């Protein structure tokens, strides 16, 4: 009797271990293991690099907070408000371009797929970026419309997206009412799929309902104070990149979505959009990280960046 009981216990243990193993393997496959769909992602069908640098190197002047040339102007400001537990620290990059071609995107390891990550600074450095911010972390999800540098990588409409056009304009849009091919025909060169929209028609959005974002273990609200990354447009080819540090007592608590949207309205944006935040929120300028991710100076790997070159 005792021997049979021991055998049953052993059998149950083996089955349990097998089931747990399958679950762990499934989780690793979904969230950890790289799945490459496109190698050399920023190579066009003609074999040329989509992210090829300008053929003539421009003359410029720069310091830790500014870049100026005949084709672009970038000014970064560090802003603080409040004190103690209520202190907020964020960075605003005012970007003015003569050509929309200087606003680009890049993927980690120059590959498109899931769970492919590198630091924002690494991707930026590999692409000779002057200024960069983390993107929408497209590689964590399997849906959304993903157009980068005029090339369509994914066409599965799912949420409120952001589109950049060849004429230097930027608009939020409903992915479910269109398609990637249609957007390309309308002159869209970049899309980001995260959200929500923060400013529309020059007015900050205040009612976000219960806004959620995908995480490794289900959805959670992102309305409370968090580190944040976002982009807004003031006029054609005139953008503001904003990165908010957070979750660091005495340095920066982060911002709520309502606070974040108000920042973009105050900056004069006609439209603005929320990107991946938390530990991903990073601003890179002229070879170094400008902000202080999570107050620890430690970047988190991301799947993509938006940058100026």
| pTM (global) more than 0.85 | yes
Residue 292 domain-assigned (yes or no): yes
Residue 94 domain-assigned (yes or no): yes
Arithmetic mean of pLDDT over the chain: 89
Residue 103 belongs to what domain range? Answer: 34-51+58-308
Residue 28 domain-assigned (yes or no): no
Helix ranges restricted to H, the chain: 2-31, 120-126, 180-185, 257-266
Task: Read off the pLDDT band of 219 (50, 70, 90).
Answer: very low
Q: Which residue has the tokens 């990149």?
A: 241
Residue 22 domain-assigned (yes or no): no
Residue 240 domain-assigned (yes or no): yes
How many CA atoms within 13 Å lie on the side-chain side of 132? 31
Residue 196: cis peptide before it, omega within 30 degrees of 0:
yes
In percent, the amount of the chain with pLDDT more than 90 equals 74
How many CA atoms within 13 Å lie on the side-chain side of 141? 22
Residue 117 domain-assigned (yes or no): yes
User: For residue 52, is pLDDT > 80?
Assistant: no
Residue 265 domain-assigned (yes or no): yes
Residue 25 domain-assigned (yes or no): no
- Number of structural domains found in the chain: 1
């Amino acid at each position: 009797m005792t021997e049979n009981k021991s055998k049953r216990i052993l059998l149950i243990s083996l089955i349990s271990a097998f089931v747990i193993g399958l679950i762990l393997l499934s989780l690793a496959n979904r969230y950890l293991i790289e799945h490459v769909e496109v190698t050399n992602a920023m190579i066009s069908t003609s074999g040329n690099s989509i992210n090829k640098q300008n053929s003539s190197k421009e003359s410029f002047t720069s310091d830790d907070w500014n870049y100026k040339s005949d084709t672009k102007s970038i000014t970064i400001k560090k802003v603080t408000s409040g004190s103690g537990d209520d202190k907020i620290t964020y960075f605003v990059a005012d970007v003015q371009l003569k050509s929309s071609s200087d606003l680009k995107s890049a993927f980690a390891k120059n590959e498109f797929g899931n769970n492919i990550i590198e630091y924002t600074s690494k991707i930026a450095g590999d692409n000779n970026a002057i200024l960069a911010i983390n993107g929408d972390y497209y590689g964590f999800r399997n849906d959304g419309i993903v157009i980068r540098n005029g090339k369509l990588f994914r066409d599965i409409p799912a949420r409120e997206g952001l589109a950049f056009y060849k004429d230097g304009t930027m608009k939020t849009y409903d992915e479910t009412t269109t398609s990637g091919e249609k957007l390309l025909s309308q002159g869209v060169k970049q899309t980001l799929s995260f959200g929500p929209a923060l400013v529309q028609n020059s007015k900050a959005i205040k009612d976000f309902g219960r806004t959620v974002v995908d995480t490794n273990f289900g959805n959670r609200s992102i309305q409370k104070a968090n580190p944040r990354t976002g982009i807004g447009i003031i006029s054609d080819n005139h953008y503001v990149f904003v990165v908010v540090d957070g979750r660091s007592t005495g340095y920066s608590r982060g911002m709520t979505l309502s606070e974040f949207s108000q920042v973009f309205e105050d900056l004069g944006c006609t439209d603005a959009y929320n990107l991946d935040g938390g530990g991903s929120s990073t601003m890179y300028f002229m070879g170094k990280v400008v902000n202080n991710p999570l107050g620890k100076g430690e970047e988190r790997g991301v799947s993509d960046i938006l940058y100026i070159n």
